[in-house]
Amino acid sequence: MENENPTSIGEELRVFLEGPVSVLVGTRDSRLIPEITRAWGPRVADDRQRVSLCVPLATSYKTLDNLEANGEIAVAFSLPTNYRTIQLKGRLVATGEPDSMDLAAVERHRDAFAKVNEPLGQPREQIDAFWQAEIETSPVLVRILFVPRQVFDQTPGPGAGRSL
């Protein structure tokens, strides 16, 4: 397992992580089988050492089980307009119920994500249907708080995967 110390998130990176990016969470179970889920409303904590995001319970049981069991988490933040992608790898601090600030961040994020996708040929209704389908069976969101220990630039190309 990676055992680096917590990394401090600079202002430019914070703005990117909290921008109109697609957010994908990767975890794994005890047999090292990976699991993907989509997350919304990422927020960098004031101490710049922790990041929170929200996942729909309906689509993320396995992710949450994995985090409970081993705490290993990887999150890719990717901007649809230019494919700039940052991956954070770290460990779970806690899961819990989102507060009003988290829910407001989810709303902002969904709105910004839809706006940035519209010129790429995805109508607003489709983007809304995207996350609405995820919460069709249950509107419950779960907040994941984790400490990033490594930051990678994963923008496509020969240099993808460079550690920052």
Q: 122-126: long-range contacts (C-beta < 8 A, 24 or more apart)? A: none
* Residue 24 makes contact with other proteins by CB under 8 A: yes
First-to-last alpha carbon distance for the chain, in angstroms, is 19
Interface region with other proteins, contact rule CB under 8 A, candidates 9-17, 22-30, 41-49, 92-100: 22-30
94 interacts with other proteins by CB under 8 A: no
Name 89's bridge partners. 74, 150
User: Measuring CA to CA, how many Å separate 34 from each of 28, 44, 47?
Assistant: 4, 25, 30
The least CB distance from residue 152 to other proteins, in Å, is: 8
Is residue 156 a contact residue for other proteins (CB under 8 A)? Answer: yes
Question: In this complex, which beta carbon is closest to other proteins, that of residue 104 or of residue 161?
Answer: 161
The reply on whether position 46 binds other proteins by CB under 8 A is no
| Per CB under 8 A, 100 contacts other proteins | no
Taking the complex as a whole, the smallest distance from the CB of residue 22 to other proteins amounts, in Å, to: 8
Q: Which sign, positive or negative, has the C-alpha torsion 80, 35, 5, 54?
A: positive
Pairing of strands 141-153, 162-163: antiparallel
Is 27 among the residues that bind other proteins (CB under 8 A)? yes
> Minimal distance in Å, beta carbon 59 to other proteins?
5
User: Helices 124-134 & 100-117, crossing angle to 10 degrees?
Assistant: 140
Stretch touching other proteins by CB under 8 A, among 6-14, 93-101, 105-113, 114-122: 114-122
Pair of tokens at residue 79? 């901007």
Least CB distance from residue 119 to other proteins, whole Å? 9
Question: Any contact of residue 76 with other proteins (CB under 8 A)?
Answer: yes
53: buried, middle or exposed (CB in 10 Å: 19+, 13-18, 0-12)?
Answer: buried
Closer Cβ to other proteins, 10 or 157, answer by number: 157
